[in-house]
Amino acid sequence: MTSNQYLLSVCITSYNRINELRRCLYSIDSCLKDQIEVVVSEDCSPQKENIALVVEQYAKTSPFHVVFNSNEQNLGYDRNLKKLMTLASGEYILFLSDDDCFFPGKMDEFLSCLENNKPAMAYGAFWYGYREAKRMRRKYVTSHVIPPGLDSVQRRIYDAILFSGLMFKRSLVVNIDVDRFVNTNYFQVFMFMTVLYNFGGYYQNTLLIDSVSDGENAYGLVQSSGQGNRLLADRESVFSNLEFNKGLFKVIQSFDKDYEENVFSKFCKEYSLRSFGGFSRAREHGLKIYMDYWNRLKTSGIIIHPICYIYLLCVGLLGSRLSGFLFAIPKKILISRRMN
């Protein structure tokens, strides 16, 4: 390792969230003081001056080397991820959202996989939700090597939805063209699929990230996105996820085109299986919203599988609560197959 290169760059996206960023920064906890740098890229938000002060104050007492960048114009989520990669000098990069944070004492446990396995990419579990609704996600039984190839990609796409905690060998992703994915909001999924397909990876059985996700949501409102997509901004809307998922579909289809594969078809089957939550939420807003949700789902670009029609009928007739009870066990069994 050269004098100007670190083992790991913790790369944090920042937009308009001051207190959340402060919490995020001070959660970085490692004994590898001289091998870790912290890189923050602020995406030209209204609070950019205050954000700069937060990072400046942190840098004064931080045991880690700190790099701060404030974009001269708003790049958007996908291009800001790419900006972080170009600013970083670590052998590995680990992405983190400014409204997420590390669990105390877990970073070094996670980084042990670097010394032992030298993976092309790695990730661990995260905690997601609010108060009593919090649940562990991206959780497997044990630490394990993930072999390269199509099967790993197909089974693990959902592991890349949250970019916080995804770690890549920087040389493998820094030259990937981001312009193809501007405003998809899922550039990290393409990186994840590409690296896993070609090189494999490693799953470290560590609860690494607390996905607090309590910060202001700027998706769809920032300058780079045209400031016109209110459904991306309104995460309380039952239609918001459908709007986000259009970008995810585009990313997966781009991967298929590049590698002459058909991941999208298998993904659609699992997406259909997981679609119950969307149906359930929409039904709670009445039948008119429910049927509007169904019509939007059909035109979203997804391949509709038979399970969606079963959900549509049962949730529409029985309601979300009773249908949830009936489907809970079989749905859990089917989804759990990919996690073991």
Pair 41, 125: CB distance under 8 Å: no
Residues of the chain where predicted confidence (pLDDT) is lower than 70: 1-4, 129-134, 215-229, 231, 233, 329-340
Pair 14, 98: CB distance under 8 Å: yes
- Looking at residue 339, its pLDDT comes to 47
Pair 143, 113: CB distance under 8 Å: yes
- Looking at residue 148, its pLDDT comes to 98
82: alpha, beta or left? (left if phi > 0; alpha if psi -120 to 50): alpha
Instruction: Find tokens 């008119």 and name the residue.
Output: 288
State which amino acid sits at residue 269.
Answer: K
Pair 38, 60: CB distance under 8 Å: no
Predicted TM-score of the model (pTM): 0.92
State which amino acid sits at residue 222.
Answer: V
Pair 113, 217: CB distance under 8 Å: no
Pair 180, 254: CB distance under 8 Å: yes
- Looking at residue 134, its pLDDT comes to 67
Pair 273, 158: CB distance under 8 Å: no
CA distances in angstroms from 309 to 220, 290, 300, 313, 334, listed in the order given:
30, 13, 16, 6, 17
For the stretch 260-309, pLDDT in tens is 999 999 999 999 988 999 999 999 999 999 999 999 999 999 999 999 99
